[in-house]
Every structure is written in structure tokens, then in C-alpha cells.
Chain A
Amino acid sequence: MSGKNKTIEDKMTELRALVTWFEQDEFKLEQAGEKFAQASKLAGEIEQDLMGLKNDITVLKQSFEDS
């Protein structure tokens, strides 16, 4: 996973916060460009992380037959 050990959920939380910033009173046009670039980068990382994840499938060695 890319992005300095942050989980996808961490990044999603960060992205949600960035998007929320655009909808709240703190929104300032002067900072919008920088925030948007930050959000775009994060979205790209999330997409890359999501598509690259592989499942770890383990078949247990235990036998469940009659002992």
C-alpha cells in the first residue's frame, strides 16, 4: 500500500474531511486550489491502493473429520 503506512480508511477519512472543508464556512477561495490538489492526490492514491489490494487466503490445516 502506498502513502506512508496510512490505511485506505485513514485516507478516506482524510478525503472526506477535505471535501467537507469545501462545503463549510472555513472555505476560502485562496486555499481551494491547494486543497483540491491535495484531495486529487489522495483520491489517486486511494484508487491505486484499492485496485492493488490482494486477499490473503489460507486453507486451515486442521482436519474436521471424525477424530
Chain B
Amino acid sequence: MEKANPRFSVSDFVAVVNQTLEYALNGVVIVGEVSGLRVSQGKWVRFKLKDDNAAVDFFGSVYQLKVPLEDGMIVAVQGRPKLSEKWGFSVSFQNVQPVGEGSIKRGFELLLKKLTDEGLFDEARKRPLPELPAHIGVISSTQAAGYTDFITILNERFGGLKVSVAHTLVQGLNAPAQITRALEHFNQSAYAPEVIVIMRGGGDPDDLAAFNDEGLVRAIAGSRIPTLVGVGHEVDTTLADLAADVRAATPSNAAQILVPDRRELVAEVRSRLGGVIPTIERAIERLDDEIRRLVDEAEARTDKAVKMAEDELSALRRLLGQFDPQLVLKKGYSLVRGHVAAGAMIEIERYKDTITAEVRDVRKK
């Protein structure tokens, strides 16, 4: 007996198709060229994705569109196929990312202009990172080479730090949402880190496209905690880099920016200590000079005192010589001793002899 074909009402048919699509193609990613892009009421977005042989309608809200679109861009769209009772078949998009160098570049340029015009990358918004953060929040894939480089350099340069790592995807359509959630987690944490580092190593433009996601870029710019972003190689610039408080050229560079090198600190400590030795040497020299000066001064004063004493002595000697009675006698004067009265005997001392004589007469002058 032939099996009867299932019969549905239109509504039931739509429900069954949606159930089937949800089961078979939930979260499917479709890649194609954007065409017929329309935004209505500033809220609803419609476009087609096409290739050489087919075109499919997409529908969603502007809030789900994290990268500005233009007709002609090649994008990867993650969404849910749906048959609408009123509008027919379309895919409700959740994520849209440009694919291929040209489209990524165009998407980057459009979003760069939009966010620059909003002042999101203004230098005035940038905050300094803490000088030596005791607690660091890291957002990266723990399997990424960039993460390993960062941890290696961080451990080499400094220690004693608490590092909380949020493991997330760092590429692909789901990466921006995961990184944004990790950012929110750190920002809402009771024991929040002092700085958040977001990083991944190098890759082609498709790999780094997650870091040009508008939602993620806004989340970085709006982070309460200062951010340091090191994505790709030195030549790569993403909008996440521009939104960060500080940009690192690479994950290794992020570690260098974040903490001082303990070997340099040790050298600085040694240099500080070495710096006091000349001070001690100078103090000893000053003391030595002072002692020498005092000794010289004492010697000079002693010499001067001796000289003065010698001079005085010779002056006194000269003076004393003038009072020598012999000198007077030598000049012909005589010294008379005895009672001078008529008939008395007196003694007359001259330079070379002494005379004893009798006084015959004494007359007053």
C-alpha cells in the first residue's frame, strides 16, 4: 500500500520547515558577496548574499551588524535559516565578518571612519597603565603562540604578580563575543585586575578580523580597567589596538610594556649603592684636607710665635746692652762709692782700674 504524503496547513508547514532547518542548519556560516543592502527605520538590515549561481536573503538588526557593510563586500555570515509566514525564506544573521583582504580592508576603513568621527580613538581618552600592576587580567587563547610568548617574557622580566587568564577564541566569528564577555567579566569582578591585556599572535587578515569587530572595539574603549592590546605582528593594526589605552606591537612587547625587567632593577640597585662610594671618598678627602690645613696652620702659628719671641729677645738684649755700666765707664765716666764729705775716703771705679781717694772739699753747685 502506498504511503500517504504528509499534508500540512500552511502554518504547520512553515513550523515544520523551521523545525527542520533549526535541527539541520542551526548556526550555519554562509560566505558570499553582499548585494542589495538596505537599512530600514535605522534598525532593520536586509541584504542578499550571492555567488555566480545563487542568491540568499538575510535579515537582522543593526545591533547584530558589528562591521559596516557595503554592496560588493565578501562576508561570512553566521545565522539561522528561517521561513517566515509573511516574508518567505531568509537567514536571520547573528554575526557578519568580512572575508578576504579587500573586504576586510574596506570594512576596516568604514568602521575606522565611523569610530574616529565618534572620538573613540582620541588621545584624550587614553589612560596610563599602572606602573607595576600587582594583578593582571589576560584575555587570549591559552593555546596561542602569542600567549606563550607573553607569559615567557613576563616571567623572565618580573615575578610576584597575580595573572588571571580568560581563555577565549582569538579568531573566527565567535571570538569577538567571547573576548567581550571576558572583558565584562574582569570589569565586573570584585577582585578586578589593575590592567587587562588582550593579545594574539600574528595571522592573516581573516585571522585578525575579530579584532575589528565594532562591539569588541567599543567594549575595549569602554573598559573601566585600563587596556593593553597586542595583536599580530608589528605591521598589523586593528581597531582593537586603536581603542586600547596602550598598544603593543606584539604579545612579547605587551609584557615588556607592562612590567620592568628585574635584571635592570638589580643593576639600578647596584648602581645606587655604588653611587655612594664617591660620596664617602669625597668626605674622606675633605677631612684629610681639613686635617692638613689645620696642621699647616698650627705649624705656621708656632713658627710665627717663635720668630716673635726671638725678635723680642734680641730687642731686649739690645736694650739691656745699653744699660751695661761698663759701657759708661768705657766712655770715660767713673763710678764713685762712699760717703762724700771732706776728709772721708771714697772709691772711684773707672773702666780699667779703681782708685781709693780722700775727699778734700765738697762744694754745692
Instruction: List the interface of chain A (C-beta within 8 A of B).
Output: 1, 8, 12, 15-16, 19, 22-23, 27, 29, 32, 36, 39-40, 43, 46-47, 50-60, 62, 64-66
Contacts and interface: CB of A to CB of B under 8 A. Distances in A.
Name the residue among A32, A55, A58 with the largest chain B CB count within 10 angstroms: A55
Contact of B266 (A22, A39, A50, A54): A50
Interface string B158-190: 111111111110000010011101100100000
* Leading 7 A-B pairs by shortest Cβ distance: A53-B159, A53-B160, A22-B276, A64-B178, A50-B262, A64-B181, A57-B163
A56 B161 contact: yes
Nearest to B184: A64
Interface string B131-151: 000000000001000000001
Interface of B: 142, 151, 154-155, 158-168, 174, 177-179, 181-182, 185, 262, 265-266, 269-270, 272-273, 275-277, 279-280, 283-284, 287
Given A29-B287, A36-B276, 19 more contacts: A1-B160, A15-B269, A19-B272, A32-B280, A40-B273, A43-B269, A43-B270, A47-B270, A52-B159, A56-B163, A58-B162, A58-B163, A58-B164, A60-B165, A60-B167, A62-B166, A64-B178, A64-B181, A64-B185
12 contacts: A8-B160, A19-B276, A22-B276, A36-B280, A47-B270, A50-B262, A53-B159, A56-B162, A58-B163, A60-B164, A64-B178, A64-B179
Given A46-B269, A50-B262, A39 B276 contact: yes
Nearest to B167: A59
B284 A29 contact: yes
Given A29-B284, A36-B280, A53 B262 contact: yes
B273 A64 contact: no
Contacts of A64: 166-168, 178-179, 181-182, 185
B200 to A, nearest CB: 14
B280 A57 contact: no
Contacts, number: 94
Contacts of A16: 272
Nearest to A58: B164
Contacts of B174: 65-66
A39 B178 CA distance: 50
Which label, helix, strand, loop or mixed, suits the secondary structure of the A interface? helix
B4 to A, nearest CB: 41
B279 A54 contact: no
A32 B272 CA distance: 15
A24 to B, nearest CB: 10
A57 B155 CA distance: 10
A25 B214 CA distance: 60
Contact of A60 (B154, B166, B266): B166
B161 A47 contact: no
B265 A62 contact: no
A41 B14 CA distance: 82
Nearest to B284: A29
Contacts of B287: 29
Nearest to B132: A9
